[in-house]
């Protein structure tokens, strides 16, 4: 990792959330299936939902409706409300940190590198999830998919943080699991390291050409 910072360390590490720090698909899939059940549609299951995560909650629900219903008349607003309701109720039942995450965050803190989360998840779910998993204290900033007018792969959230801390893109590291993270980093001009275990719409993350891929986050530092 140091090779991206002239042998030194980044001055800010921005972590993606779903699929990078947290395996959240079991709870997302449960909320999607409870939504589908209430709409009298067939259930989707975790494997399908895994491919739909990454572009925020609205897109997740749109993808679920498109895949599981032939009836275009199903009202998005009602489905979205159902999803929000069920996800709020099941936000952190089975969601868990990936192996190596705690160690990586501790190591980053020991090295005095500020950390932030930039996720496409709605911010109303992000704070409670981080706090339930007891990692909220590590992050100086947390931006959700609806915190700003644009979300990843737009570089806006990354650029806002760079601006806030007066950092050049080359001083910041993005760490994520999906093409949205790689594109956001590329669009912002910062290096990006990916993990291969997350959710990338069923595609190998290497095809998105991150600067590097690490199997576990504690191998980062």
Ligand X SMILES: O=C(O)COP(=O)(O)O
C-alpha closest to that of 43 among 32, 58, 27: 32
167 three-state secondary structure: coil
What 3-state class would DSSP assign to 221? coil
Hey, which residues between 11 and 50 contact Mg ion (CB under 5 A)?
A: 16, 18-19
Of 38-46, 103-111, 163-171, 175-183, the window that binds Mg ion (rule: CB under 5 A) is 175-183
Q: Which residues bind ligand X (CB under 6 A)?
A: 16-19, 53-57, 60, 119-121, 152, 178
Binding-site partner at residue 120 among Mg ion, ligand X, none, CB < 5 to 8 Å by type: ligand X
20 or 138: CB nearest Mg ion:
20
Contacts of 3 (CB under 8 A, 6+ apart): none
77 is in an annotated binding site: no
Query: Which two tokens mark 10?
Result: 């980044």
Least distance CB 53 / ligand X (angstroms): 5
Smallest distance from the beta carbon of 26 to ligand X, in angstroms?
Answer: 14
Q: Which of 16, 27, 33, 181 is catalytic?
A: 16
Q: Which does 53 bind (CB under 5 to 8 A by kind): Mg ion, ligand X, none?
A: ligand X
Neighbours of 10 (CB within 10 A): 24
Write the burial class of residue 107 (CB in 10 Å: 0-12 exposed, 13-18 middle, 19+ buried). middle
Is 16 considered catalytic here?
Answer: yes
CB 91 within 8 A of CB 129: yes
| CA gap 125, 26 in Å, rounded | 15
Q: Considering the complex, what minimum distance in angstroms separates the CB of residue 14 from ligand X? A: 11
Q: What sign for the dihedral angle of Cα 218, 153, 129, 89?
A: negative
Specify the residue, 23 or 177, whose C-beta has the smaller distance to Mg ion: 177
> Which of residues 114 and 177 has its CB atom nearest to ligand X in the complex?
177
Based on CB atoms, which residue is closest to ligand X, 34 or 118?
118
- Backbone φ and ψ for 173, nearest 5 degrees, come out as -115, 130
Residue 29 CB, nearest approach to Mg ion (Å):
15
Residue positions annotated with a catalytic role:
16
Per the annotation, where are the binding residues for Mg(2+)?
16, 18, 177
Q: Which residues bind Mg ion (CB under 5 A)?
A: 16, 18-19, 177-178
């Amino acid at each position: 990792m140091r090779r991206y910072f002239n042998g030194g360390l980044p001055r800010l590490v921005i972590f993606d959330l779903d699929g990078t720090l947290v395996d959240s698909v079991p709870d997302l899939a449960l909320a999607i299936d409870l939504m589908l059940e209430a709409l009298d549609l067939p259930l989707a299951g975790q494997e399908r939902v895994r491919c739909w995560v990454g572009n925020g909650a609205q897109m997740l629900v749109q993808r679920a409706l498109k895949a599981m219903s032939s009836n275009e008349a199903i009202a998005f607003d009602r489905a979205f409300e159902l999803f929000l309701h069920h996800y709020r109720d099941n936000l952190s039942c089975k969601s868990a940190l990936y192996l190596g995450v705690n160690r990586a965050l501790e190591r980053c803190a020991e090295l005095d590198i500020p950390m932030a989360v930039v996720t496409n998840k709605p911010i109303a779910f992000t704070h409670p999830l981080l706090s339930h998993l007891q990692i909220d204290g590590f992050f100086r900033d947390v931006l959700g998919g609806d915190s700003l007018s644009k979300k990843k792969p737009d570089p806006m959230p990354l650029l806002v943080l760079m601006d806030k801390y007066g950092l050049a893109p080359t001083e910041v590291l993005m760490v994520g699991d999906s093409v949205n993270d790689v594109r956001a980093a590329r669009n912002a001009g910062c290096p990006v390291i990916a993990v291969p275990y997350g959710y990338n719409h069923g595609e190998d993350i290497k095809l998105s050409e991150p600067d590097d891929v690490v199997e576990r986050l504690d191998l980062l530092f």
